[in-house]
Every structure is written in C-alpha cells, then in structure tokens.
C-alpha cells in the first residue's frame, strides 16, 4: 500500500516536472497566449486531458512555473543577509549570480522570456520577489556609499539595469547563435572591476 502510494507520488512528481519543463519552453518561445493545450500535449508526449490531472487550468500551470522560478531565485539569494557587503563579498555575489545563470542558462533564459510577457509581470509584482529585490537594493546602496560613489542609488539602478539588459540580450540572441561562452566571464569581470 505504502509502496503503491510511493510509486504514484513518484510518477506524479515526474510528470508534473516534465509538463512544467515543456510548458516553460513553449510559453517562453511562443508566448503563453499562443501555446494551446493541444500543442503542449504533443510536445510533452501526453494526451490533451492529462495536463488537467496535474494542474487545474492552463493559468494554474503558468502560475506553478512562475512560482517555482521565484522560489529558486529566493532560495539562491536568501543567504547571508547581514546587510553589510565588503568588496570581496560583492565580487563573490556577482560571480555566484553569473555562475547560477550560466549553469542553467537554458532554464533562466526561458524563465526570463516568460516573466517579461504582459500580464505575467503581475505575478512578480505580487510575489516575495518585490521585497527581496528592495532589500538587495538597500544593501547595494550602502555598499556603493561606503565605496565612495557619488550617487549610490544611480549605481544601484545602473547595475540592475545592466543585469536585466544582459538577460534580455541572451534571450534575443540565443535563438540565432549562442552568445560566446567567454563573454559571460568577461562581462562579469567588467562589472566587478567597475564596482570594486
């Protein structure tokens, strides 16, 4: 009994992940509104009805995907929040952020491609991320002030804009030709160099 139940849960878990993974890819590349359940089912190799065994609706599937991504981000960034950053810590923070993105380039690119879609942005605004971002902005503001920057908030703005722009660039050019791996490294060092 416990055996059967365990297997069921395993199967459910796998299927759920599989559906979410396929959906993220399609939603990101085609746009949420342009992906039909039929298309999703074909790409996931399942029947049309099965999705509804795992998610209440198409929108609920979207929500699950977005929330999972937000959770991943929060888990990654929710450590060492004592609030004071040294130059070394700043460098480490930037490097580990890029490392995270690089390791799951496909996932994060797709995720980014998803959350910039109209109506989906709203999910973010109502999530914990808003607070998380604000607190990081504060920490960075203090750091830049301590480092002697004239206009710390402008630097915070510049840095975050740069990182978002980088993500957007990856999204745009990844379809055509991959961005050279080396660029990751050089770009990252360029940022660290500017701010330490």
Partner DNA sequence: AATGAATGAGTCTTCATTCAT
Partner DNA sequence: TATGAATGAAGACTCATTCAT
Write out the residues near DNA by the rule CB under 7 A: 5, 7-8, 11-12, 15, 34-38, 46-50, 52-53, 56-59
The 3-state DSSP class for residue 127 equals coil
Contact 108, 167 (CB under 8 A): yes
Asked if 187 interacts with a copy of itself (CB under 8 A), we say yes
Q: Shortest approach of DNA to residue 64 CB, angstroms?
A: 13
- Between CA 196 and CA 81 the distance in angstroms is 20
Q: CB under 8 A: which stretch of 17-25, 97-105, 140-148, 156-164 binds a copy of itself? A: 156-164
For residue 165, the partner it binds in DNA, a copy of itself, none, with Cβ less than 5 to 8 A by kind, is: a copy of itself
Choose which of 71, 154, 178, 196 interacts with a copy of itself (CB under 8 A): 154
Q: CB under 8 A: which stretch of 64-72, 85-93, 114-122, 135-143 binds a copy of itself? A: 114-122
Which tokens sit at 164? 């978002």
139 vs 170, which CB is nearer to a copy of itself?
Answer: 170
Q: Shortest approach of a copy of itself to residue 165 CB, angstroms?
A: 3
**24: nearest Cα among 141, 114, 152:** 114
Contacting residues for 27 by C-beta, under 8 A, at least 6 apart: 35, 62, 65, 110, 114, 117
Q: Which segments of 31-128 does DSSP mark as H helices, in order? A: 37-44, 51-54, 58-77, 87-103, 105-115, 121-125
Q: Count CA atoms closer than 13 A to 12's CA, side-chain side.
A: 10
49 vs 180, which CB is nearer to DNA?
Answer: 49
Choose which of 8, 172, 178, 196 interacts with a copy of itself (CB under 8 A): 172
Report CA torsion sign: 78, 84, 123, 98.
negative
* Residue numbers at the binding site for a copy of itself (CB under 8 A): 28-34, 113, 116-119, 121, 125, 151, 154, 157-158, 160-166, 168-169, 171-172, 175-176, 183, 186-187, 190
């Amino acid at each position: 009994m416990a055996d059967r139940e365990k297997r069921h849960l395993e199967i459910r878990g796998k299927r759920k992940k599989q559906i979410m993974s396929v959906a993220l890819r399609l939603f990101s590349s085609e746009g949420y509104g342009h992906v039909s359940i039929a298309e999703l089912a074909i790409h996931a190799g399942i029947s049309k009805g099965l999705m509804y065994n795992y998610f209440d609706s198409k929108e609920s599937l979207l929500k699950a995907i977005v929330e999972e991504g937000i959770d991943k981000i929060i888990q990654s960034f929710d450590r060492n929040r004592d609030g004071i950053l040294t130059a070394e810590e700043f460098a480490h923070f930037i490097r580990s952020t890029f490392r995270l993105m690089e390791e799951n380039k496909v996932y994060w690119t797709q995720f980014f491609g998803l959350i910039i879609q109209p109506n989906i942005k709203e999910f973010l605004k109502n999530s914990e991320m808003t607070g998380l971002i604000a607190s990081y902005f504060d920490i960075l503001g203090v750091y830049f002030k301590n480092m002697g920057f004239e206009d710390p908030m402008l630097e915070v703005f510049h840095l975050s804009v740069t990182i978002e722009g980088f993500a957007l660039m990856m999204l745009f050019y990844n379809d055509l030709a991959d961005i050279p791996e080396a660029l990751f490294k050089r770009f990252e060092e360029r940022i660290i160099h500017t701010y330490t």
